[in-house]
Amino acid sequence: MPGANLSVAAKNTVGLYGLYAGYYLAGLLITPYLARCLGPIPFGRFSAFQALAATMAVFIEFGFSFSATAALQREHLSRSADRIISEVLMAKLWLSLPVSLVLLLVVRYVPALDNGPAFAALCLAAACCQGFSPAWIYQGYGRLIQYSALDMAIKALSVAAMFLWVHKAGDLTRAALFWTLGSFLSSTAGTLWIMRRVNWSRSLPPYTRIVSRLRDGLSLFCFRAATNLQSVIGPVLLSVAAPEAPLGAYAGADKISKHLAGVLYPVIEALYPIFRNSPRWTSGSVPRHLALTLVLLTLAGAILSLGLFITAPLLTSLLLGSKYPEAVVFVRVLSPLPVLAALGQSLGVHWMVPMGMGRLYSAITVAMLALYAISTVALSHWYGALGMCWAQILTAVTASSGMLVATLVQFKRSRPLELGD
């Protein structure tokens, strides 16, 4: 692996951890506060608001944080980089139109989200701000640390505003407003800053180039959709399938487990452009560092899972308080998620896509989404929030197993497994 690529990967890893640290620290600071001052029902609705906004943002982002970032890192010294930014922004604009319509329909017909026009508008704004985040541009140019610092500062202001002006159950819409403002200011300021420092084409890109960008990001969109939707859509589905279930307790447990499951994701995302552009794949060998990365990520995920299971009572008491007694059981059922996420994400992003198995990977992730949708609706209808937790574990085990089997079969059929330097 060339030293220059390692340097870029290291910088982007630090930057991605900065972004995720801002997100997680904001969540760790505000979740205990909102869980206590809003109470179980409004807190559950706020969690459903966050989940829906993040879900719709996945469809706008469309995997460009992988495909477009890799393209920028290849072309950042040429004039092609100018066109890449314009093409991706226009593609996101296209995607935002149907996404906005679907989001407004969901808000209208899901009871946990139907809190008036202002709440719906804030949810739409939050989804667009997250979907149009300029983080991928900073990552492509190796400047992600700068955006991370900006994002963390703005999130700190957003959290401070919640502490100052959100105090009771009736402040639900106000909490949503401050959360959305944080995303808006971060995306807007970050976009204005980077656009003044890089060259980008301001002309309207051709239709064919936009379609090409969408095609490039499709397989990785399936990955992002599968992992992100499974990570964030739980409270929305639970509120539909089992309205009487303890949404607040489930949402709190879901946040705790997903925060830990996402700890390793910045490493996976930062290393993708290097593995994707590695000449080793064309020579028929598997880089030794890639095999080692898979082992280390899976081991780290196992440690996180074990720690989550053991400390579940302490974590729920500290983060949620005494009004959510069911959350301890939910957290323990969800505790395998960190190791399953590490294994599945590393296999899919670092192995299957670079090996030319993008279509199979897309098929597995689409099947994973279908299984998740069916199992969550069925199990949560019969067993409430606990059924929703078991549905997540079932889906994660099935997806990781499918990716592992597909990767091993591909190696056996095409060529012997050779480990390069």
Buried b (16+ CB within 10 A) or exposed e, 326-348: bbbbbbbbbbbbbbbbbbbbbbb
pLDDT of residue 367: 85
Indicate the pairing of strand 286-287 with strand 419-420.
Answer: parallel
Domain range for 256: 3-420
Q: Phi/psi class of residue 63: alpha, beta or left (left: φ > 0; alpha: ψ in -120 to 50)?
A: left
Total domains, the chain: 1
Element (H, E) at 215: helix 207-232
pLDDT of residue 283: 47
pLDDT of residue 121: 92
CA-CA distance, 210 to 212, in Å (whole number)?
A: 5
Q: What is the largest CA-CA distance in the chain?
A: 63
Q: pTM of this prediction? A: 0.75
pLDDT of residue 22: 63
How many CB atoms within 10 Å of residue 49? 27
How many CB atoms within 10 Å of residue 314? 10
Per-residue pLDDT of the chain (421 residues; tens, 9 = 90+): 444 455 555 555 565 555 666 666 677 778 889 988 988 888 888 988 888 898 899 899 887 887 888 788 776 655 667 788 888 999 999 999 999 999 988 888 877 677 788 888 999 999 999 999 998 888 888 787 888 888 888 988 999 999 999 999 889 999 999 999 999 999 999 998 888 877 666 778 888 888 888 888 776 777 667 666 766 677 777 777 666 567 788 888 988 888 788 777 777 766 766 666 555 554 455 556 667 778 888 899 999 999 999 999 999 988 888 888 889 999 999 999 999 988 888 887 777 777 777 778 778 877 888 888 888 888 888 888 899 899 999 998 998 898 888 877 876 765 544 545 4
Reported residue count of the chain is 421
CA-CA distance, 392 to 249, in Å (whole number)?
A: 16
What is the CA 189 to chain-centroid distance, rounded? 21
pLDDT of residue 160: 92
Start-to-end CA distance of the chain, whole Å, equals 9
**Residue 247 · residue 325 · CB < 8 Å:** no
